[in-house]
Structure 1
Amino acid sequence: MAQLENFDLAHLSAVELFTPKFEESLWFFRDLLAMREIARIGDSAYLRCWDEYEAYSIKLTASTTNGVGRTLYRATSPEALERRVAAIEASGFGHGWRDPEVGVGRSYEFEDPDGHLMSIYYDTERYIADDLDRPALKNQASAFPGRGVNVRRIDHINYLTSDVNASGAFWRDVMKTRETERVKLDNDDYGAWWFRFHQKSYDVVYSADWTGNRGRFHHLAFAPDTREDILKAADIFLENGIFIEYGPYKHAINQTFFLYVWEPGGNRIELANAGARLVLDPDSPVVEWSEAERAKGQAWGMKTVPTFHTHGTPYVENQEQIDQDAINGVRH
C-alpha cells in the first residue's frame, strides 16, 4: 500500500453556534454543561470546556435563527497551514486571510462545497487559568468543575449537506483527512461519511440533508470522561426540561456511546464517548455500510429515531411538521 501523507490538521478547535434564545442557550452551556464564559463581545459569548488548552470551545451568538456559523480548525504546523491553504485556494473554495481574533492568530477562511463557513490557522493562545479555576494538577488546563455534565472537550462536528459525495471528497482530497467509515446507498451515492485527523475515530462527519437544503447543521458533540457521565447527564437534562431526542445508547458506526438533546435554541448537541475507539493502524481500511446494514439499527438493535434524519438547523419552513411527519413515517 502507498505510504499515507502526514496529517496537516491537528483538531477541531471552536464552533460558532447561532441561537434565537441567547440567555437560555447560555444557561444550557454554562450551567448544565459546566462550560466557563471567558469573554463577551457584542452579541457573542465565548465559552470553554474545562480541559481545552485553547481559549474557547464555542462562540454562542444571538441571532434570529439557529444553526452553525464559522468552524475553526488548527493546523499541525505553519508548513501544514500553508499546504492546506494552497490546496483550498486551488479548489476554488477559499475566501482569504483573516486578521487575528479571540484566541487565535491569522487564519484562512474558506467554505466547503455545501457552503459551510470555516477557517484554518496555526498560531493560538493557550488558556491560562486564574484563581477561580486553577487546577490541582498541573497537567490539565483548568480545575474540574464538579457540577453539571462536566464536558471535558469538544469532540466532533456533524454537518448536514445536500451532496455527501462532494463534501466528503473535499475533506478527503483537499483537506487530506482520512476516512474511517461511510454509508453507501443503494443508488451508489454516500448517505454519510466520517473523517479523522489523527487516531481518534472521527472529527468531522457529513450526513445527507433530507430537505435538500445547503449549509445546515446536524450536531456538535462534547466529550465527558466516561459513559457513566453520559448516563448522569440524561438525568440532569430530564430534571431541567431539556428535550432528550435519542439515547443514551451505542452507535454501530465507530461505536460511540451517545446522548442527543436539543439545546434551548434548537441546535442538536451530542454527548459522546468517541475516544473509546482509536484507529492505530496507519493503513486502516475504510469501513463501508450498506443501507440494509444500517436499517438494522444501532449497535444493540435500537432503531434510529426518525427526527435524527430530518431535524437540522437553521430550521427550514415547516420544520416542526417535517419532524412530525418523520415520526409518522412520511418522508418529504
Structure 2
Amino acid sequence: MTPPLGDIAHLGHAQLHTPDLAASVAFCTDYLGLTVNAETADTVYLRAFDDYEHHSLVLTARDRPGLGRVALRTSSEAALHRRVAAIEAAGGTGKWVEDEPGLGPLYVTTDPDGHEHALYWESEHYRAPEELRPALKNQPQAKPNRGVGVRRLDHVNFLAVDVLANAEFQENVLGARPTEQIRLDSGGIAARWLTYTNKSYDVVYTSDWTGTPGRLHHIAFATDTREDILRAADLAVDTGVFIETGPHKHAIQQTFFLYVYEPGGNRVELCNPLTRLVLAPDWPLVTWTEAERAKGQAWGLKTIESFHTHGTPPVAP
C-alpha cells in the first residue's frame, strides 16, 4: 500500500555531471542567475534565490554529462527513518553518507533504473551575506540582477527502461502520488508524472528508447512568470545558449516551457507551472492515450525529434 503523502517534504536538489565544469557554472550563474555557495576542486554548489537550503544544484566534473544524485528532504527525522525502513523492506539497499555542505546524514539508494536518490532531514537554513540580503525578511536571498533569475528547482525528468517499475518505487516506497501518465495502445506506460507535495509534479519517468538504464531527460527550474520564459529565450539568443524547443505549452501538466542545453550537454527546462496545484486529496490519475499524445503540445510548434532521442549520458546509435 502506498504510504501517506508527506514523508518526503520536497525535492531538495539535483546533481549534474559535466565534462566542462567552468562553462556549466558560467551558464548557471550568468544565464540562469544561480549563486555559487560553495565549491571544491571538482564540484560547485549553487542555489536559486528562493531556496531556503544551502544549495539547489550541484555540478560535478566528469568525462560525460548526466545525472548524479537527486536529493529529497523528508518531513522529519522519523519520516526519514520510515522511508529507509520501507526501502529496505522492499529489498532495496543503501548507505549513509555525510558528504554535502549544509546537510546532515544522507541515506543514498537507487530506484530500479539505477538513478541515485539521497534522503535526508537535517538541513542548514541559508543566511544571505550582506551583499545578497533581501529587503523582505521572508525571502532567503535578494533576486538576482542577472540572467533569467529562476526561483527554484522544480522537477527532474528521469529516462527509464521500465517506467512503471520506477513509478511504483516512488509511489509504494517513497510515498509519491501519480497525477498524469501516458498509456500506449499495447497497455504499457510510456511516462508517469508524480508529486510529493501539492505541486502537480516533482518527478517524471519517461521511457528510454535506447533501453539504457540510469539516464536523464532533463532537470527544470521554475520562473516567476510566463514572461520570464520569453525573456529566457531572448537571453539565450543573445548569449549563444542553444535552444532545443519552445517556448510552447505542454498539454500534459499545462506547463509553459523552454528547453535549452547547458554547455556540458544536459537538457535544462525553464518552466512556469506555478499556478497549477493538485489540492484534491483524491486526485484521479489522468491517463493520456497514444493517439492523444500524438497530437503534440497544447499549442506551439510540433515537438522536434531530438526531444524524444536526446538524453544524458549520450548513447552511441
Q: How far off its partner does 1:205 sit?
A: 0.3
1:143–1:301: structure 2 CA closer, same or farther, 3 Å change rule?
A: closer
Q: Which amino acid aligns with 1:125?
A: E
Name the structure 2 match of 1:113: 112
Name the structure 2 match of 1:68: 67
Q: Which amino acid aligns with 1:238?
A: V
Name the structure 2 match of 1:101: 100
Give the Cα–Cα distance (whole angstroms) in 2 for the partners of residues 196 and 17 of structure 1: 21
Name the structure 2 match of 1:327: none
Is 1:221 aligned to 2:217, yes or no? no
Name the structure 2 match of 1:201: 200
Name the structure 2 match of 1:129: 128
1:173–1:18: structure 2 CA closer, same or farther, 3 Å change rule?
A: same
- Scaled by the length of structure 2, what TM-score is found? 0.97
Give the Cα–Cα distance (whole angstroms) in 1 for the partners of residues 85 and 184 of structure 2: 33
Identity %: 53
Structure-to-structure mapping, 1:130-169, within 5 angstroms? 130-169=129-168
Give the Cα–Cα distance (whole angstroms) in 1 for the partners of residues 201 and 223 of structure 2: 16
1:154–1:33: structure 2 CA closer, same or farther, 3 Å change rule?
A: same
Cα deviations by residue, 1:121-171 (Å, 9 ceiling, x for unpaired): 111011110011000110100011122100111100000011101111111
Q: Which moved more, 1:293-302 or 1:36-45?
A: 293-302
Does structure 2 retain, via aligned residues, the 8 Å contact 1:19–1:61? yes
SS in 2 for 1:132: helix
Give the Cα–Cα distance (whole angstroms) in 2 for the partners of residues 134 and 40 of structure 1: 21
Q: How far off its partner does 1:302 sit?
A: 3.7
Name the structure 2 match of 1:172: 171
Does structure 2 retain, via aligned residues, the 8 Å contact 1:219–1:267? yes
SS in 2 for 1:168: helix
1:35–1:42: structure 2 CA closer, same or farther, 3 Å change rule?
A: same
Q: How far off its partner does 1:275 sit?
A: 2.0
Give the Cα–Cα distance (whole angstroms) in 1 for the partners of residues 138 and 230 of structure 2: 27
Q: Which amino acid aligns with 2:227?
A: E
SS in 2 for 1:118: strand
Give the Cα–Cα distance (whole angstroms) in 2 for the partners of residues 3 and 158 of structure 1: 21
Q: How far off its partner does 1:94 sit?
A: 2.2
Q: How far off its partner does 1:82 sit?
A: 1.3
SS in 2 for 1:220: strand
- Runs of 4 or more above 4 Å deviation: none
Name the structure 2 match of 1:294: 293
Q: How far off its partner does 1:83 sit?
A: 1.1
1:100–1:3: structure 2 CA closer, same or farther, 3 Å change rule?
A: closer
- Scaled by the length of structure 1, what TM-score is found? 0.93
Q: How far off its partner does 1:99 sit?
A: 2.5
SS in 2 for 1:276: coil
Q: Which amino acid aligns with 1:252?
A: A
Name the structure 1 match of 2:35: 36
Does structure 1 retain, via aligned residues, the 8 Å contact 2:224–2:274? no
- Structure 2, unaligned stretches of length 5 or more? none
Q: How far off its partner does 1:301 sit?
A: 6.1
Name the structure 2 match of 1:237: 236
Name the structure 2 match of 1:330: none
1:3–1:269: structure 2 CA closer, same or farther, 3 Å change rule?
A: closer
Q: Which amino acid aligns with 1:137?
A: L
Is 1:317 aligned to 2:313, yes or no? no
Is 1:47 aligned to 2:49, yes or no? no
Give the Cα–Cα distance (whole angstroms) in 2 for the partners of residues 315 and 173 of structure 1: 30
Q: Which amino acid aligns with 1:177?
A: A
- RMSD, matched Cα: 1.4
Is 1:183 aligned to 2:182, yes or no? yes
Q: How far off its partner does 1:4 sit?
A: 7.8
Give the Cα–Cα distance (whole angstroms) in 1 for the partners of residues 228 and 300 of structure 2: 23
Give the Cα–Cα distance (whole angstroms) in 2 for the partners of residues 63 and 81 of structure 1: 30
Does structure 2 retain, via aligned residues, the 8 Å contact 1:201–1:275? no
Give the Cα–Cα distance (whole angstroms) in 1 for the partners of residues 131 and 151 of structure 2: 17
SS in 1 for 2:154: strand
Give the Cα–Cα distance (whole angstroms) in 2 for the partners of residues 181 and 125 of structure 1: 33
Give the Cα–Cα distance (whole angstroms) in 2 for the partners of residues 306 and 87 of structure 1: 39
Name the structure 2 match of 1:261: 260
Q: Which moved more, 1:299-308 or 1:247-256?
A: 299-308
Q: How many pairs does the alignment contain?
A: 317
Q: How far off its partner does 1:100 sit?
A: 5.4
Q: How far off its partner does 1:303 sit?
A: 2.5
Cα deviations by residue, 1:195-236 (Å, 9 ceiling, x for unpaired): 011111000000000111000000000011000001000000
